[in-house]
Structure 1
Amino acid sequence: MKKKSIVIIVGLAVLVGAGAWLAGRDKQADAGERQGAAGEQSGKSDAKGGAQPPAIVNVVSPQRQDVPVVLQANASVTPVSTVDLHPQTTSTIRKVHIKEGQFVKAGELMFSLDDRSERANIDKARAQMARDAASAADLERQYKRSEELFAQKFIAQSAVDTLKSQLDSARALVGAGQAALQAEQVNASYSAIRAPMAGRVGAINVFPGSLVQLATSLTTITQLDPINIAFNVPESALGDLLAAQKNGAVMVDALAGPQAKALSGKLSFIDNAVDPLAGSIKVKALFDNKDASLWPGQYVSARVTVQTIKNAVVIPQAAIISNTRGTFVYVVDADHSAKQMPVVRLHAFGVNAAVSGLNGDEKVITEGKQNLRPGGKVRLADASAPKSDAKTAVAAQ
């Protein structure tokens, strides 16, 4: 019984193997037929003499022009100086001479404090000084008479010396009285609060009759002309900024809004340290602001021209290719083939870039680059107008 089972199993295995062999032979035959058909089609194509068709591309002619290297940043308007006015004595406000928002000149009277006590102290100091001066004058007369008496040998030298000492002491008292009078005059001057500089007055926090102390804020004065704008630039631009500053004044443009007129100022300050967290450095520019078009705290857009690349070769940025081997462009060679030209991007602005590595008379490929290989044949997309001027691209920017 076991022998019959073994025979049946062996027979089934033989049948399965034979079926697999026949199926494999049929597949090989089909593959051979397909390869033959493909070979016939290829032969027909070769018989017609047709190689791979040229790639269709668009080209531009590089332009030569001066390219300004401009840094753009968001900036805020900051005053050159601002002062928070406080009284230097405890008193009451007698009169307010200014209004909120008023422009004041340096030295203009702004607040008057109650100064009756100070004026009384000045009178007292003057009286004390007059009394000391009278005593000194009397001692001086006595000293002169004693010298005459001593010359006639009516008094001893010790009496003369005593009067001389008393006279010196009286003169010292007169000097002390004079200093005390000046001190009282200084204290009295605190009752008249004047503008320390020209500027615009802010909100006024006191009124006539208000009690003021050292910590009381009366108002603020902010200088508006000239005025600063402050902004940060990347630390990579520090070298260009310092080099430009050595060559002369660095111009800075400020734009307060899309419809606003650009204002021109000069770079006035570069901070002495780079912010290690942000990787930037703070700079300031000084602007004339006679018409008060810039206001403290206002946000503006700042543009700094750090240098100008003279007679630079300008091409569209779309033509530049970057990969692991470097940066290059494709140009159309004399035999209508694609040629790689290595370039260095000097400065990018808008859709264009100033580059080095080109002579300026090449035909640079801008579209169709994805189908190109070095040495591959190319055909211009529009034979009647093969060039798309880079200058047009700049104008359309």
Structure 2
Amino acid sequence: MKTDRADRRRACGTAPGLAALILALLLVWGCGADNSQKDGQQDKESESCVSVDRTKVETADLEEIINGIGSIEAFQSVKVYPEVSGIIETVEFEEGARVKKGQLLFTIDDAKIRAELDARQAALEETRANLENARLVFKRRQRLYEQKLGTEEARDEARTRYQALSAQVKRIQAEIENIRETLKDTKIRAPFDGFAGAHHVDAGQLVDTETQLTGVVQVDRLKIRFTVPERHMGQVRVGQQIRISAPAYPEEKFAGTIYFIDPQIDPGTRSLRIQAQAGNPENQLRPGGFASVELISGTREGVLTIPEEALIPTRSGYMVFVIANGRAKGREVKIGLRRPGTVEITSGLEEGETIVRAGHISLYEGAEVCSE
């Protein structure tokens, strides 16, 4: 009987402890289930919204630009020919080197020309001496004639000789001047500042006035020839500024100024031919290259603008997604000027509205947009 009472006491003492353990387990399970449910709801909410890159509709000033295409030319470019025939004695420059106006490029052997000059100078001295004698003879015979001591024929003969020798002196002087000019022509010099081209001849080579020796181009100042459609004729004027870009420097713009507008429209292309000059101090641009031209015709101030990537093409035009109350709403817009990365909005949006810049691929009408 004592044993039964002891067993009952142990059983009664164990029951409250077991109940407490079970209650604790139930509480832990309940809390875990509640947290799991909350996490699930958050995941579901995250999966239901769309992440996008957003931006604001802003106002800005946009340049009105007329685009043209053309070519780059040296402002001055000449082929260098000799003025005299002869043997090339020296070549005084390196191919492709920068040269200054008047810099010596070639010399032609001038020995024969100098010999001719010496001979004509000797002839001049002799003729001058003869002229002085003739002057004295004429003077004496003139005096004798006036004193009735000489004949008219003798006087006239002396005068004729004096006049002939005087003319001969002048002729020889002119010949000497021409020879000196020819002597100068044996020194071929750069006609202006620029860059020398290739050597077309070498020392020792016989050349004449039709032999090209080299070329010189001016590239620190360039000529830009380009065309624009004839509809822009009224927007172009001499003195107008342009921006030039070239394939070799796509991120860089070079400034230029219009100095010539063709008075006629090209009947073949219906375009207006224009010439501008542009500085090229670092010689980045080279003659013969392609040029893209932007001609600034005006500025539109305070227009609505959005990033170009926010535009979505449609069958009827364009649309953008506007974010309002956390949801994306498609809205048709009309556009105006387009510039790289930016587009003008002429209707459909208001300044300050929030739109989707990127992330359209997952959007649909009324889609919930994830908060920032």
Instruction: Give the structure-1-normalised TM-score.
Output: 0.63
Give matches, 1:106-185, under 5 Å.
106-185=101-180
Residue type of the alignment partner of 2:135? E
Residue of structure 2 equivalent to 1:231? 226
1:304 aligns with 2:299: no
1:97 aligns with 2:70: no
Contact 2:59 2:351 in 1 (8 A): no
Which residue, out of 191, 195, 215, partners 1:196?
A: 191
User: Against the structure 1 CA distance between its residues 294 and 258, is the aligned structure 2 distance closer, same or farther, given a 3 Å change threshold?
Assistant: closer
1:219 aligns with 2:210: no
Q: CA deviation at 1:103?
A: 1.0
User: Against the structure 1 CA distance between its residues 381 and 273, is the aligned structure 2 distance closer, same or farther, given a 3 Å change threshold?
Assistant: farther
State the SS of the aligned residue for 1:226: strand
State the SS of the aligned residue for 2:219: coil
Contact 1:112 1:192 in 2 (8 A): yes
Residue type of the alignment partner of 2:62? V
Q: Return 154-163 or 186-195, whichever deviates more.
A: 154-163
Summarize deviations over 1:245-279 as a string: whole Å, max 9, x none. Answer: 3xx54233434545543222222332333222222
Residue of structure 2 equivalent to 1:282? 273
Q: CA deviation at 1:129?
A: 2.0
1:266 aligns with 2:251: no
2: distance between equivalents of 1:155 and 1:360?
Answer: 118
Contact 1:61 1:360 in 2 (8 A): no
Summarize deviations over 1:217-271 as a string: whole Å, max 9, x none. Answer: 21111111111222222122221113xx3xx542334345455432222223323
Which residue, out of 48, 53, 76, partners 1:81?
A: 76
2: distance between equivalents of 1:276 and 1:184?
Answer: 52
1: distance between equivalents of 2:131 and 2:252?
Answer: 73
Instruction: Give the structure-2-normalised TM-score.
Output: 0.66
Residue of structure 2 equivalent to 1:240? 235
User: Against the structure 1 CA distance between its residues 139 and 352, is the aligned structure 2 distance closer, same or farther, given a 3 Å change threshold?
Assistant: same
Contact 1:77 1:295 in 2 (8 A): yes
Residue of structure 2 equivalent to 1:48? none
User: Against the structure 1 CA distance between its residues 311 and 156, is the aligned structure 2 distance closer, same or farther, given a 3 Å change threshold?
Assistant: farther
Q: CA deviation at 1:321?
A: 10
Q: CA deviation at 1:105?
A: 0.8
User: Against the structure 1 CA distance between its residues 358 and 175, is the aligned structure 2 distance closer, same or farther, given a 3 Å change threshold?
Assistant: farther
Q: CA deviation at 1:314?
A: 5.3
Summarize deviations over 1:186-228 as a string: whole Å, max 9, x none. Answer: 2222221111111111111221111222332211111111112
Q: CA deviation at 1:113?
A: 1.1
- Give the number of aligned pairs: 300
1: distance between equivalents of 2:144 and 2:116?
Answer: 42
Summarize deviations over 1:32-71 as a string: whole Å, max 9, x none. Answer: xxxxxxxxxxxxxxxxxxxxxxxxxxxx997554321112
Q: Name the % identity.
A: 25
State the SS of the aligned residue for 1:290: coil
Residue type of the alignment partner of 2:104? L
Summarize deviations over 1:101-120 as a string: whole Å, max 9, x none. Answer: 11111111111112121112
State the SS of the aligned residue for 1:133: helix
Contact 1:199 1:221 in 2 (8 A): yes
1:252 aligns with 2:243: yes
Residue of structure 1 equivalent to 2:20? none
State the SS of the aligned residue for 2:220: coil
1: distance between equivalents of 2:140 and 2:242?
Answer: 79
Residue type of the alignment partner of 1:73? G
Contact 1:89 1:190 in 2 (8 A): yes
2: distance between equivalents of 1:273 and 1:316?
Answer: 40
Q: In structure 1, list runs of 5 or more residues that go unmatched.
A: 1-59, 330-342, 367-378, 386-397
2: distance between equivalents of 1:268 and 1:256?
Answer: 24
User: Against the structure 1 CA distance between its residues 165 and 310, is the aligned structure 2 distance closer, same or farther, given a 3 Å change threshold?
Assistant: farther
**In angstroms, what is the RMSD of aligned CA positions?**
4.0
User: Against the structure 1 CA distance between its residues 356 and 384, is the aligned structure 2 distance closer, same or farther, given a 3 Å change threshold?
Assistant: same
Q: Return 199-208 or 349-358, whichever deviates more.
A: 349-358
